[in-house]
Amino acid sequence: MRKTFNIRGIIIGEGKPKIIVPIIEKDEVSIIEKANSMVHFPIDVVEWRADAFKDVFDHQKTIAVLMALRDIFPNKILIFSFRLLKEGGDRAITSEAYTHLNQIAAESGMVDLVDVALISCNEVAAENIARIHNAGVLVMGSYHNFVDTPEKAVLIRTLMKMQEMGADVSKIAVMPNAADDLLTLLNATYETASKYGDKPIVATAMSPAGLLSRLAGEIFGSSMTYGAIGEATAPGQISVELLDDVLNLLHGDHNKFRL
């Protein structure tokens, strides 16, 4: 049986995929403004992309932002994420600084998950996982490929490797260059979820060609999906209102369908 996580009353790994919206603003004022603009939207999870924050290496300012976000979103899941340059992030960081920053976020008491690029930072992955778990926080292992979609066996191995390394949630985002690529991702997600893995998966095919993965991921075993409020933060994201409508429709919650 696949494991689920009940975080602030929101169950990851069960039922309708939970909607994540990232915050990628560059300064504290803009971050808080963006967060306040999101409070009435149908979202479950807020991901703070801290790599976009210009003062991210000032740990006091980073903690202050986390405290403000927790105050604005007391009942939402909060993910801390510093996206590495090689996976589409905003700035460079050393392995040591990356590990320390993730630990500070986890120990702040403000976040529920810390995103760790387990495949790209394999040499310090175990230390990141241990420090985050020691703080009582879950790890979202992640892998982003903005170029193409690896073959199904590679995607399955990647998801399973993240689980075996200790990730509580495993996330992959790939770029489809043909319809077959979308099918490859969906097949890999379904096979991992139904045959091999036992923890929640997040699987996304980026660009408009991958939209089906954002809308119908639950059918194939994906537990969360990304939407946009305002400008999209990744290729192929759609508005959270439309995303929520489609998820409700696919999940049979027709009374919640607003269109």
Tell me the three-class secondary structure of 84-119, residue by residue: CHHHCCCCCCCHHHHHHHHHHHHHCCCCCEEEECCC
8 Å CB contact between 127 and 98:
no
8 Å CB contact between 79 and 112:
yes
Which residue is listed with tokens 């959270």? 240
Active-site residue, from 16, 18, 76, 144: 144
The residue ranking higher by pLDDT, 197 or 4, is 4
Q: For position 231, what pLDDT does the model report?
A: 75
Q: With H, G, I as helix, E, B as strand and everything else as coil, classify residue 25.
A: coil
Q: In which element (H, E) is residue 151 found?
A: none
What's the pLDDT tens digit per position in 105-155? 999 999 999 999 998 888 899 999 999 999 999 999 999 999 999 999 999
Q: Which of 12-21, 126-135, 236-245 has the lowest mean pLDDT?
A: 236-245
The yes-or-no verdict on residue 259 having pLDDT over 70 is no
Mean pLDDT of 157-163: 96
The percent of residues in the chain predicted with pLDDT above 70, rounded, is: 96
φ/ψ of residue 182, rounded to 5: -60, -45
Q: For position 230, what pLDDT does the model report?
A: 80
Q: Which of 2-6, 47-51, 110-114, 236-240 has the lowest mean pLDDT?
A: 236-240
Whole-angstrom CA distances from 202 to 8, 53, 66, 168, 212 are: 19, 24, 23, 11, 14
Q: For position 237, what pLDDT does the model report?
A: 79
What's the pLDDT tens digit per position in 26-48? 999 999 999 999 999 999 999 99
The yes-or-no verdict on residue 226 having pLDDT over 60 is yes
Q: Which of 70-74, 229-233, 254-258 has the lowest mean pLDDT?
A: 254-258
Active-site residue, from 171, 199, 251, 256: 171
Task: Name the residue among 34, 31, 6 with its Cα closest to residue 18.
Answer: 6
Position 253 confidence tier, pLDDT thresholds 50, 70, 90: low
Strands in 113-116's sheet, in edge-to-edge order, are 201-205, 169-174, 138-144, 113-116, 77-81, 45-49, 18-23, 224-226
Q: Say whether 100 is catalytic.
A: no
Mean pLDDT of 181-209: 93
Q: Say whether 144 is catalytic.
A: yes
Q: For position 111, what pLDDT does the model report?
A: 98
Structure tokens at 124: 């310090």
pTM here? 0.94
Task: Name the residue among 135, 133, 194, 195 with its Cα closest to residue 165.
Answer: 133
Position 207 confidence tier, pLDDT thresholds 50, 70, 90: confident
Mean pLDDT of 152-163: 97
Structure tokens at 21: 């919206």
Mean pLDDT of 247-251: 85
